[in-house]
Amino acid sequence: MIKLRPNDPGGLYPPYFCVLKSPNSFRSGLAMMHTPFRTLLALLLPLAFAGCGPDEEVEPTPMPPTTTGTLRIKVVPEWEGGAFAMNSVYTNVSDYRVKVEAIKFYLGDVRVLNGSSETMVKDIAFFNLGEGRDTLLATVPAGTWTGLRIGLGVPQELNDADPIVYPSGHPLDLANAMYWTWSQAYRFLIFDGRYDLDAGGTDPPAEPFSMHTGLNECYMEFDLDLGTGVTITAGNTTTLTVHLAVDHFFYSGTETLDLATENQTHGTNLPLALELSNNAAQSFSVE
Amino acid sequence: MKNVLHTALVCTLLIVGCRKDPAIPMPQTDAPFPLQLPAGAPFPEVPDDNPLTVASVQLGKALFFDPRLSRDGTVSCASCHHPDRAFSDTVALSVGIDQQTGGRNAPSLANVAYHPYFFRDGGVSTLERQVIAPVQDPLEMDHSLELAAAAVSGDVEYEQLSRSAYGRPMDEFVVTRAIANYERTLISGWSRFDRYFYQNDGTALTDAEVRGWDLFRSAALNCTVCHNGFDLSDHSFQNIGQYLDYADPGRERISLDPLDNGKFKVPTLRNIALTGPYMHDGSIPTLDGVIDHFASGGLPHPNRSPLLPNFALNADQKADLIAFLNALTDERSIDQVP
């Protein structure tokens, strides 16, 4: 804990110091010492305090604005409106048995809408549903918001930026293993698992599918209607559940993504990447 | 006395506790790296956040040869980019961690300071970002950059160089910047051909080599349409008709344009005698075989470059052409870091 110490009287103390004792008790302890030790201390203390370095200065934390609240968006995966679990076997729209092993994605440029007004509230968030990373926190102006506008993927400005600069824990941190090093761009959606064309099969699905979208072409923006609106009050957190229909990843309208022939995309199979991106963007909903 | 000792102990703890790492020496003064350039070569562009300094380059070299950047500590950059091979590999496809084989032939790093993009498909735009790929590629070092940086952080020499060059301890930023800067110093431009062509030393090449040079730049062979300029490459992407159906889509992987299928970046021909086997997949082991390929004009892939003529060479002409290519080998090491 570093604190600013104002009104240093004697020049012995540097303006910043590591607080182990209160200034007064520290000074009284000094007075009790014999002269040689006081001299030694006088020589050593500046060195000690200098070691703390200016990089440890902490600006006073500004008071949080009182006109915003927190919107907590929790994404809940579902299958045909019911519960969904990774590594469980479901039957998809093509009547194939499907086991999903990984769903990871970015949501970017999240905006709250009200009539013609829209406000960007989150630049980027990372979701890894298999590991419980399913929530986005955004600081939102107080008020009632009737819609959300969200991008599935990483907005181009962020996608093109240097990936080294992000601290540990940041959505774009390389440690999330979403970065395509060969094309210096992020994957937007990872959808991996196994399938079995035999609807009556009893063995675990064995054929792998691995569909990774990315590249700026696959960035898909979608809107969510919040009905009469979600109200954000200053200083409070409001939770919004967003449903993700994983079964919808395999169809859009009357078009189906046929795993028998469409099961791999890693940058080059753009038509399949676009199809999956479009399907997935339509899979989000709010009740 | 007890209080005095207590206070002295507190002081000692203060001194030790406030230092970030007592084992790390204070940084030394850094200085611009004295990059040696061949006559007429421009100073390469360097990013604003990565000045080319002595400390950054020294650190980059140490990291380049350091296998701790790989997951199991067995593979370094130099494992596939050998200094005595103009920083290329001797095998068609390099062997990475757990004896896994990579997907493409490791190219020479000569003159990468002048390249507008990297990898054979041009997918990465800076040397700094290029560094991330081999570290994280499961077939190469199979590490995360974060863990790789952690594996070498705390090394006293590295930490001192890092703080001198970048004013910060070893981390991912420093690893990418330092290695990129070392690679920038791998300048090639001291071959006998350079003396002949750029310094007008007519005695630098033998008669056979001069005949080979004349063939190389002849309209019949048309080599210089792509292999031109200081780096003997225009860095364009070309399909040279190696296959009718490419297992590796090449530039198409980046551009997503089917017209780029089978196109790869034109490589430098500097030190070409040292950098075999050749082509993006290392499928042609010798220069003799490369010349045979180009003489045939390649296979009729739809994207095959229209710049490729068929030509015929007799044995003497072929020997002359190979002699010329051998004259493109640097006469000194391209590594300028002691």
Write the pLDDT tens digit of every residue in A154-203: 999 999 999 998 988 999 999 999 999 999 999 999 999 999 999 999 99
- DSSP reduced 3-state for B128: helix
- What's the gap in Å between the CA of B18 and the closest CA on chain A? 5
| pLDDT (tens digit per residue) in B131-150 | 999 999 999 999 999 999 99
What are the beta bridge partners of residue A232? A143
* B123 in reach of chain A (CB within 8 A): yes
Confidence band for B13, pLDDT divided at 50, 70 and 90: very low
| pLDDT (tens digit per residue) in B188-243 | 999 999 999 999 999 999 999 999 999 999 999 999 999 999 999 999 999 999 99
CB B170 within 8 A of CB B155: yes
* A175 in reach of chain B (CB within 8 A): yes
Residue A280, pLDDT score: 98
Q: Domain residue spans in chain B?
A: 21-184, 192-326
Question: What is the residue type of A216?
Answer: N
For testing contact with chain B, the best of A182, A183, A218, A272 (most B CBs within 10 A)? A182
Tell me: domain B192-326, CATH 1.10.760.10, correct?
yes
Select from B11, B249, B252 the Cβ nearest to the Cβ of A45.
Answer: B11
Which token pair is A37?
A: 């030790």
With CB atoms and an 8 Å threshold, state whether B7 touches A30.
Answer: yes
Alpha carbon distance A148, B309 (integer Å)? 58
With CB atoms and an 8 Å threshold, state whether B124 touches A181.
Answer: yes
| pLDDT (tens digit per residue) in B303-333 | 999 999 999 999 999 999 999 999 999 999 9
Q: In the CATH scheme, what is the code of domain B21-184?
A: 1.10.760.10
pLDDT < 70 stretches in chain A? 1-66
Contacts with A51 from chain B: Cβ below 8 Å: 15, 18-19
Assess whether the region B21-184 and the region B192-326 belong to the same CATH fold: yes
Beta strand A255-256 with A251-252 is antiparallel
With CB atoms and an 8 Å threshold, state whether A163 touches B256.
Answer: no
Largest separation between any pair of C-alpha atoms in chain A: 91
| pLDDT (tens digit per residue) in A11-24 | 322 322 222 233 33
**pTM for the whole structure:** 0.80
